[in-house]
Amino acid sequence: MITLKDFEIHKAYLPPAAQAAMVEDLREVARAAPFFAPLTPWGKPMSVRMTSAGRYGWITGRGGYRYEPRHPDGQPWPPIPEAVLVVWRDLVSATRAPDCCLVNFYGEKARMGLHRDADEADFGWPVLSISLGDPGLFRVGGLERGDPTASVLLESGDVVVMAGPARRAYHGIDRIRFGASRLLPGGGRINLTLRVVD
Ligand code: MD3
Ligand code: FE
């Protein structure tokens, strides 16, 4: 069974000044690759807004879940900000860079249902997650839907590394505590996930 112990959670890994600087880097990413409202393969709108940086971005829609080298507007994704790559180098690998930095924005009512990340060609590499802004209630289960779950609050500056069997675990965000952090002036939560795709 997979438990929270298998997730490497680095509480307050990023100090407040580094969080604020990263938000500025992400504003630049969003200028080049605007946030969009994804649709599930079944045509249902997701409650998060998304964009990406890196060689690939994660896309969903009628064509299914997939990685694409371009934003829906046709432009290549902007580079992953250096400060984000530094976190990956420190905690995952100094030799292999991530291919994709998925940027999820959670507004007041946004959530992410229990799912597994399964669109990458190679599950051998960990996934690294950086939380910024309002706290989010993260839920993690096991390798099967319906396995018991545990919850942990992910707060601004927290970094999580999912490696080994935890990489395949069901997980999601039940809700955020909208307005509890002052990092983002309008409230909300940003989550970055760094992945090796191929
Ligand atoms: C566990 N994001 O983008 S981050 C996602 O907070 C996603 O936005 C959530 O799930 C968020 O796919 C959770 C923590 C996370 C990310 C990827 C994982 C946990 C994971 C991959 C495998 C197992
Ligand atoms: Fe996920």
What CATH number matches the domain at 4-195, 1.10.10.10, 2.40.50.140, 2.40.160.40, 2.60.120.590?
Answer: 2.60.120.590
Q: Which DSSP string do the residues of 123-157 spell out, in sequence order?
A: TTS-EEEEEEES-EEEEE--SSTTS--EEEEE-TT
pLDDT of residue 67: 96
Which pLDDT band holds residue 7 (cuts at 50, 70, 90)?
confident
* Segment 65-105, tens digit of pLDDT: 999 999 999 999 999 999 999 999 999 999 999 999 999 99
Report CA-CA distances (Å) from 143 to 9, 116, 138, 160, 184.
19, 9, 16, 18, 34
- Candidate from 4, 171, 175, 190 with most ligand 1 atoms within 8 A of CB, to mutate: 171
pLDDT of residue 24: 98
Domain ranges in the chain are 4-195
Query: Which residue, among 138, 126, 128, 122, has the nearest Cα to 167 in the 3D structure?
Result: 126
Whether the pLDDT of residue 40 is over 80: the answer is yes
Q: What global pTM score does this model have?
A: 0.96
Determine which residue's CA is closest to atom 5 belonging to ligand 1: 193
* Segment 129-153, tens digit of pLDDT: 999 999 999 999 999 999 999 999 9
Query: Which residue, among 141, 152, 125, 142, has the nearest Cα to 9 in the 3D structure?
Result: 152
Any residues with Cβ below 6 Å from ligand 1, and which?
102, 104, 112, 117, 127, 129, 136, 160, 162, 166-167, 169, 171, 173, 191, 193
Tokens 């992410």, residue?
A: 112
Whether the pLDDT of residue 2 is over 80: the answer is no
Determine which residue's CA is closest to atom 11 belonging to ligand 1: 191
pLDDT of residue 4: 73
